[in-house]
Structure 1
Amino acid sequence: MDILAIALLGFFATGYFVLAGADLGVGMLLPYLGREPGERRLVLASIGPFFLSNEVWLIATAGVLIGCFPTLEGELFQGQFLVLLPLVAGWIVRDAGLWWRGRGASRGWRSSMDALVVCGSWTVALSWGALYAGLLTGDPFRPASGSLTVFTALAVALLFAAHGLGFAALRLTGKPYERARQISGRTPRLHSFALTAVVMAALPLFAGTRLPLADSAADSVTLSLLVPALLVVTPALVAAQVWLWRTFGHRVTRPSYL
């Protein structure tokens, strides 16, 4: 059961980085992709149907970690609190900007909400990079420091941005699409997104090899209850995600509710 629990943890974490990494990357590049209010609404419309469902994968990852690896979860959350705090704060700020943007009609209000989206997206990406740096140092239970942390945080954040750029090239039209293509170059759009998706998927999988997962698994009774339940729920989650992409995966040509 512990092997299945580890596999489920890796599956959910990979799904989050590949899927949510795209909408975070789009949020990071919002000022570049959308130069005018109408263009920014179009850019945000590209992630509108997806960002909440993508966050479900992070919630599922946290749920598996708490339920199946309680000792590791406690040590990791306590040791990396100074990194996880800005990560959660950035997540809340980004989502607040997306939800509140359409609540005001003035240009100043929407510009302020756009700033929340950009700042929150960058904060989340940089925080993941800082957390990743802690795993690279060999001590996942305390924040990393020094030049390696700065370099890793920036590298991971730029990877998020590149992933979002590939997603934008698949979803956008008009001038925002042209700007996305200017950076991605002549590489086929789907190939560019697929390449960054592979790298994004590798991040949590490599991180998992740096954690003592096998030694931190819950007892067999707990796993025998949780793992079968997760195996039942997982296909439904995947099916819902597939339906969402098939329904809303076309290019956006007009603003949405955001």
Structure 2
Amino acid sequence: MDLVWLGLLGLLLAGWSVLDGGNLGLGRSLRRIGRTGPERRLLLTAIGPFLLGGEVWLVAAAGLLIGAFPALEKDLLYAYYPLVVTLVVAWVLRDIGVWFRSRRPSAAWQRGWERVIVVASTVFAFAWGTLLGNVAQGVPATGRPGLETLVGPYSLLWGAAVVAVLTLHGAVFAALKLPPGRRVRATGTARRAGGAALALLAAVGVATPAFSVELARPLPAALVGVLAVAAVTVALRLVERRRDGWAYACTALAAAAPVLAVGAATAPRLLDGLAHDSTLDLLAYVVLPAVPLLIAVQVWMAWTFRDRVGSRSAVFF
């Protein structure tokens, strides 16, 4: 039963990485894929219906972490407080940028908020990847890791790899949602990000034993890493063949892979922070019915807004 709770936490975090990870990747490439104001408006229109829905998964994961893993939440927050604060600040700024960008017709106003979206999305993704890299090295039960671990080469390598994977995911999302005549720069961004993602994922795999990272279960993590590399490779081929839907499915696997790899490799340490059975029994009455509902709503949203965006599409922000 303990593994069920860890699996639910992994599901929520992986779901957020897939759903909001595409928004982060697209936000990071907003001014690269969209060269003009109207083109960037189209990209924000594509993000619009999925922005808050994707964030719900992260909020739900945070709630589950606090309720089902109170000791782990305490250790995470204390050990990685600077990264958590960076992540939250970038999250808020990304959302503010999306909300405010189109509030005024001024070109200078819009360019300023576009830059906020780009920087905040990049920092958000990088902080998340760096946090995963730290967790992969083992969450300390007491004290805080040194600066050489918190922002050391291995942790920063994880941050760069996650940024590259999410940039690829966002570019494929753009290719999927933009009108066919406007997908050229999205595919170009996908090619560059895909090449970087393959190199960085391979570097993470090579660096893991070199840095003597203590993984309790290295084999599952390695298998997930191989799956991520394969997914990126297949996605790049599918994008070239204009099969954007299948390419998005592949990059979704790659976006979820870092979370799944860390969870599989460090499961014993993560389960040390699990709450008592009586607390979990009460929590089950809320969580177990809510998760299928969350998935059903997300499927409905994806089906409702499955079409490519255009000048007549609904604008949310």
TM-score (norm 1): 0.94
Matched residue, 1:36: 36
Question: Is 1:181 the counterpart of 2:187 in the alignment?
Answer: yes
Matched residue, 1:204: 259
Instruction: Give 1:25-64 correspondences, 5 Å limit.
Output: 25-64=25-64
- The Cα of 1:101 is off from its aligned counterpart by 1.5
> Would the alpha carbon gap of residues 88 and 175 (structure 1) be closer, same or farther in structure 2, given more than 3 Å must change?
farther
Instruction: Give 1:1-258 correspondences, 5 Å limit.
Output: 1-139=1-139, 142=145, 144-173=150-179, 176-182=182-188, 183=191, 184=236, 186-187=240-241, 188-209=243-264, 210-211=266-267, 212-254=269-311, 256-258=315-317
| Secondary structure in structure 2 of the residue aligned to 1:249 | coil
Mapped to 1, the partners of 2:136 and 2:272 lie a distance apart of 19
Letter in 1 for 2:105: A
Mapped to 1, the partners of 2:316 and 2:302 lie a distance apart of 18
Letter in 2 for 1:236: L
- The Cα of 1:124 is off from its aligned counterpart by 0.4
Kindly provide the CA deviation profile for residues 101-123 of structure 1, in whole angstroms up to 9, marking residues without a partner as x. Answer: 22212111111111111111001
Question: Is this contact kept in 2: 1:34–1:176, CA < 8 A?
Answer: no
Letter in 2 for 1:246: W
- The Cα of 1:216 is off from its aligned counterpart by 1.6
- The Cα of 1:4 is off from its aligned counterpart by 2.3
Mapped to 2, the partners of 1:138 and 1:229 lie a distance apart of 30
| Secondary structure in structure 2 of the residue aligned to 1:251 | coil
- The Cα of 1:174 is off from its aligned counterpart by 5.3
Mapped to 1, the partners of 2:297 and 2:139 lie a distance apart of 37
- The Cα of 1:226 is off from its aligned counterpart by 0.3
TM-score (norm 2): 0.77
Question: Is this contact kept in 1: 2:80–2:150, CA < 8 A?
Answer: no
Q: CA RMSD in A?
A: 1.7
Letter in 2 for 1:230: V
Q: Tell me: higher relative CO, structure 1 or 2? Use CA pairs within 8 A at least 6 residues apart.
A: 1
- Identity rate, percent: 37
| Secondary structure in structure 1 of the residue aligned to 2:138 | coil
Mapped to 2, the partners of 1:116 and 1:134 lie a distance apart of 26
Structure 2: tracts of 5 or more residues without a match: 192-235
Matched residue, 2:200: none
Letter in 1 for 2:96: A
Instruction: Between 144-153 and 93-102, report the one with greater CA deviation.
Output: 144-153
